[in-house]
Structures are given as C-alpha cells and as structure tokens.
Amino acid sequence: MAAECGSGNCEAWAARDPSGILSLYKFNRRAVQSDDVSVRITHCGVCYADVAWTRNILNNSMYPLVPGHEIAGVVTEVGADVKNFKVGDHVGVGTYVNSCRDCENCNSSLENYCSKGVFTFNGVDTDGTVTKGGYSSHIVVHDRYCFKIPDGYPLEKAAPLLCAGITVYTPMMRHNMNQPGKSLGVIGLGGLGHMAVKFGKAFGLKVTVISTSESKRKEAIDLLGADNFVLSSDKNEMESLKSSLHFIIDTASGDHPFDPYLSLLKVGGVMALLSFPSEIKVHPANLNLGGRSLSGSVTGGTKDTQEMINFCAANKIFPDIEMIKIDYANEALQRLVDRDVRFRFVIDIENSFK
C-alpha cells in the first residue's frame, strides 16, 4: 500500500485514472518561497469540476490527480516578502493559484481571465509541475491568490465561497444585480443556485427560483427565502413570468433551451450564464426585440473574491453544507452527479488525515 500511495510531505486523496476513483496518495509540496503562504487545509468544498477532471470528461486530466479548489485553512508559514498574512490567519484559496501578473487582465484584478492562469489542480505551474488541489493536508500558494477569511466566519462555511460563491457574485456585481426592489430569476438550485438566492435576498431583490424539479419548491421558499418558485415545465407558470425579470442567473449544468428563459426578461434585462452547456441556441428576436443581453462569466478576480468574502461575513451569508470525511469523497462525487446534495459537500480535511 505504501508504494501505491507514494511518499512526500503532503497527504491527499487522488484519482489515478478516468474511473475517477480516489484513494490515499502522498506527494511533496514545494518549499515556501519569498512570496508564498503555506496553508494547513481544514476544509475543502466539493465542486462539479472535481468530477469533470477526476473522470477526464474534458480529455485533459493529468494523473495522479488531486482535486479540490474550494479551500479553507490556517496559515502555518509565510515567505520573507509576505506582508498581508501571518501565521494563524484564516485564509481561503480558490480556483487558480497563479497568473502572469503582467497582462491587462491581471493588472485589472481579473486574474481569472489571464491567458496564462494556472488552475489550482490539474494545471501546469510556471516551474513545470502539475498543480494538486485541496483534497490534501496542506497547500503552498503565492500570497496574491490567498484570501483572508474574517475572524468568526466558520471555515467549513467559507470553503464553498471560493468557487460557488464567487462564481455567482462576480456577474451579479458586474451587471448591477444589487439594486434593491428589482427582480432576479435563478435557474437551478444547486451549489451555485442556492448562493444566488442568498446574494439576491441580501441585495434586496425579489427572487424567483426556476427549476425542473418540483421537489425544490419547498426548500427554495421555506429554507432559502425565495419569493417565488416556478416549475420550468409548467407552461402556465412560465407564462406568468414573461417580461417580468430584470436579471437571470443561469446555473443549470446540463444542456437546456435558452429562449424560454430569455423571454422572461424585461426590456434591457440581462441573463448571465455560469455553466458550460454543449451549445447555445438563441432566436435573435428574443435578444433584439427586447434589448436583452446574454452574458458569460467564470469565477472571479482577486479583488472581487476578497470583497465577496467580506460581504458574506458582514451580512452573515453562509452556504448550506453537508460535511463529510474524505473517505466518503467517492460517494459524494457520485451523489453530486446524481444531484443528491443540499447544497454543497464540504470535506472535513483536518479530521480526515489524523
């Protein structure tokens, strides 16, 4: 078993092949450099990206593969030039751990769009090593890509903010979806969707959840506080929403039509797409005749990420999670595929590697 799991200073769980099955693995993290922060990982959220890359769905997985990019933990060491973090700080690490730091996007705190950005796992870093994610005991990261988690904010709740939270927050802020009294539609009620509802309510919006599943009605309204729920397969319910929404956040992960949702927007309304369907088909009239916009977005830059974390702490916005140990990770990934989670799995890393 020792030979199979390898050796090194970091314990982890890794997939070895496209079956995606995770098991114990050891490897070496780099030594802390002058601008680095070493983080003892306490918690890591489970994202659909973990499924995609452990199972080689995108045909670019590099094994052994350690997933996880919703990371929360405690600083254990800082490099000589690090000024913003100290040992003992609570911090988070999100979906990327490096970028060129010199392009237009990096200089605008939009590092998530840097063409040389390095993903937190299954990326190739500047030293040629393949990055390994948060299903592990610790991580070493340049301080630019590390975020302060305010005192008192639970680390297990902070972890999902680093992907699910920022992925929703970024387009909401970009498109001014923080105007009290306006109306927001949220398509899909998973890890991202439930955060969209929480942000929407915090911004003072009237929030309608649009779902394919009637079973989500009660939790949307009673648990999350949505103002309205519409079953997308119910023509009458959908008709009642036509031209009524200022904004739509689309978190639906699978292929789905766009015209029925675009028709729900008011004149000048914006629909933000956060997922990756295999194609987008839109009748031009649904955009042109209503002056509507369909926009894309992916995670967020460093400035927005820290702002989002601070906003959640100040407004007591917490993801709804199901805590698991790492030896349940394989079951959790399959349950994620089966849409059997409410609303985000979080791995209790600190109690999984004892």
Three-state DSSP class for residue 37: strand
- The Cα 323–Cα 184 span in angstroms is 29
Average of per-residue pLDDT values in the chain = 96
Phi, psi of 328 (to 5 degrees): -100, 5
Rounded to an integer, the average pLDDT of 91-98 is 98
Assigned CATH topology for domain 10-163+301-348: Quinone Oxidoreductase; Chain A, domain 1 (3.90.180)
SS3 assignment, position 7: coil
pLDDT exceeds 50 at position 344: yes
The CATH class that applies to domain 165-296 reads alpha beta
Q: Which residues contact 66 (CB under 8 A, 6 or more apart)?
A: 12, 13, 14, 25, 27, 121, 132, 133, 134, 135, 136
**3-state DSSP assignment of residue 98:** strand
For residue 2 the two structure tokens come to: 């020792």
Res 101 pLDDT > 90: yes
**Domain locations in the chain as residue ranges:** 10-163+301-348, 165-296
Say yes or no to pLDDT of 167 above 50.
yes
The CA distance from 265 to 258, in Å, is 12
Residue 4: band (very low, low, confident or very high) from pLDDT cuts 50, 70, 90 = low
What is the mean pLDDT of the segment spanning 222-231? 96
**1, pLDDT greater than 60:** no
* Predicted confidence band of residue 84 (pLDDT cuts 50, 70, 90): very high
Residue 2 has pLDDT above 80, yes or no: no
117-151 tens-digit pLDDT: 999 999 999 999 999 999 999 999 999 999 999 99
Rounded Cα gap, residues 332 and 143, in angstroms: 31
What's the confidence (pLDDT) of residue 5? Answer: 76
Token pair belonging to 146: 């590390």
Separation of CA 49 from chain center: 9
| pLDDT at residue number 7 | 86
Give residue 3's pLDDT.
41
Query: Which residue blocks in 203-350 are alpha helix, DSSP H?
Result: 217-218, 235-240, 259-262, 284-288, 302-314, 329-337
Which pair of structure tokens corresponds to residue 65? 């593969």
Indicate the helix (H) or strand (E) that contains 313.
Answer: helix 302-314
**pLDDT tens digits for range 27-75:** 999 999 999 999 999 999 999 999 999 999 999 999 999 999 999 999 9
pLDDT of residue 6: 78
- Write the pLDDT tens digit of every residue in 188-221: 999 999 999 999 999 999 999 999 999 999 999 9
Q: What is the DSSP letter of 136?
A: B
What's the pLDDT score for residue 319? 98
Residues comprising the chain, all counted: 354
